[in-house]
Amino acid sequence: MAAIIIDGKTIAQKQRTAAADRTRLLRDRGVHPCLAVVLVGEDPASISYVTAKEKALAEAGMASRDIRLSGDTGEAELLDLITGLNRDNSVHGILVQLPLPRHINENNIIRAIDPGKDVDGFHPVSVGNMVLGQPGFLPCTPRGVLVMLKELAIPTKGAHAVILGRSNIVGKPLANLMIRKDCNATVTLCHTGTRDLAYHCRQADILIAAAGSPGLVTADMVREGAAVIDVGVNRVADPAAKRGYRLCGDVDFAAVSEKAGYITPVPGGVGPMTIAMLLQNVLDSAEGTAGK
């Protein structure tokens, strides 16, 4: 029996509609939610991501402050810019698009952002709040995965979740979120040092692939009926494609979809949820400002 395809676009649109409703309420109170988006350099993928984020902000009635800097911008100049944005009460969120040019220390930039405007959820304070279960911004992609599971009523309480990948952006935060009492899952976090990866994957009720390795998860690694969430976005050369490449995930979609109970496609699965959760984080910040 073929898996149920999880339509991330539809779920994300529901979230974006809710974001537009929240925005209208805030604007009625004289607060215009605003995200400052900082892009350093001209990386094509980063430009594409920033453009998509700004489009989503506009559709929700939110403001964006588009700040584009040359690739040779110095770290000190970028830090000065962030200091100014931290002090600007009309800005509710600050997003510095990663990756940054090699001469800029990303950790220094992340730490410079006011935790109250850290809508990416990358600041050490945000990470600490997440681990301790305190209020704070959650990273957008992990938050989106949880919303997706809830929307499909995929049980997490008592479920065994296996996560492939230990990045600070997806793997580690998702593991922390899924062991919270509101999810109550048992989590196995796999990585490049894991022995017999296939064995661990086959134990999963919920298998989340976020390793950045095209086609890593094959059908023989998936338990019958498992929910498979593919976070990977990989560019694979394809001469037949218009751009010379195609996007694929970490999961062999065609084969695994014949065995899994649920599966997300790439593109159109987790990706749209990430932007939708960014909007929610900005609104959380703006509502905090309105409350004060």
* 248 and 171 together in one domain: yes
Q: What is the CATH number of the domain that holds 177?
A: 3.40.50.720
Low-confidence ranges of the chain (pLDDT < 70): 1, 292
Active site residue 53: yes
CA neighbours closer than 13 Å in the CB half-sphere of residue 85 = 29
Based on the fold, state whether residues 166 and 224 are members of the same structural domain: yes
How many structural domains does the chain have? 2
**Is there a single domain that holds both residue 169 and residue 236?**
yes
Considering the domain architecture, whether residues 68 and 151 belong to the same structural domain is answered as: no
Q: How far apart are CA 236 and CA 2, in angstroms?
A: 25
Count how many residues are written for the chain. 292
Which domain does 83 fall in, by range?
Answer: 30-114
Predicted local distance difference test score (pLDDT) of residue 156 = 98
Asked if residue 261 and residue 158 are part of one domain, the reply reads yes
Q: Within a domain: residue 211?
A: yes
> Does one domain contain both 49 and 161?
no
Q: How far is the C-alpha of 285 from the C-alpha of 287, rounded, in Å?
A: 5
Catalytic option among 15, 117, 118, 120: 120
Question: What's the whole-model pTM score?
Answer: 0.94
Domain boundary among 114, 148, 170: 114
Active site residue 292: no
Q: Tell me whether residue 21 is in a domain.
A: no
Tell me, yes or no, if 97 is annotated catalytic. Answer: yes
- In a domain, residue 93? The reply is yes
Assess whether 146 and 267 both reside in one domain: yes
Are 24 and 61 in contact by the 8 Å Cβ rule? The answer is yes
On the 0-12 / 13-18 / 19+ scale of CB atoms within 10 A, 289 is middle
For the range 283-287, what are the long-range contacts, defined as Cβ-Cβ under 8 Å and sequence gap of 24 or more? Answer: 283/19, 283/22, 283/23, 283/26, 283/33, 283/62, 284/137, 285/33, 285/92, 285/93, 285/116, 285/117, 285/119, 285/137, 286/26, 286/31, 286/33, 286/34, 286/92, 287/22, 287/26
What CA–CA distance (Å, rounded) separates 187 from 227?
14
Domain contains 56: yes
Q: Tell me which of 114, 149, 182 is where a domain ends.
A: 114
Domain boundary among 70, 97, 114: 114
- CATH value at residue 58: 3.40.50.10860
Same domain? For 40 and 159 the reply is: no
Residue 37 forms part of a structural domain:
yes
The answer to whether residues 201 and 101 belong to one domain is no
CB–CB of 276/240 below 8 Å?
Answer: no
260 and 159 part of one domain: yes
73 falls within a domain: yes
Q: Are residues 182 and 66 in the same domain?
A: no
**Annotated binding site, which residues?**
165-167, 233
Q: What is the pLDDT of residue 102?
A: 95
Kindly state the tokens that stand for 28: 């009625």
Q: With respect to residue 291, please indicate whether it lies within any of the assigned structural domains.
A: no
In a shared domain, residues 64 and 182: no
List the binding residues for NADP(+). Answer: 165-167, 233
59-74 pLDDT per residue, tens? 999 999 999 999 999 9
pLDDT at 1: 66
In a domain, 186, yes or no: yes
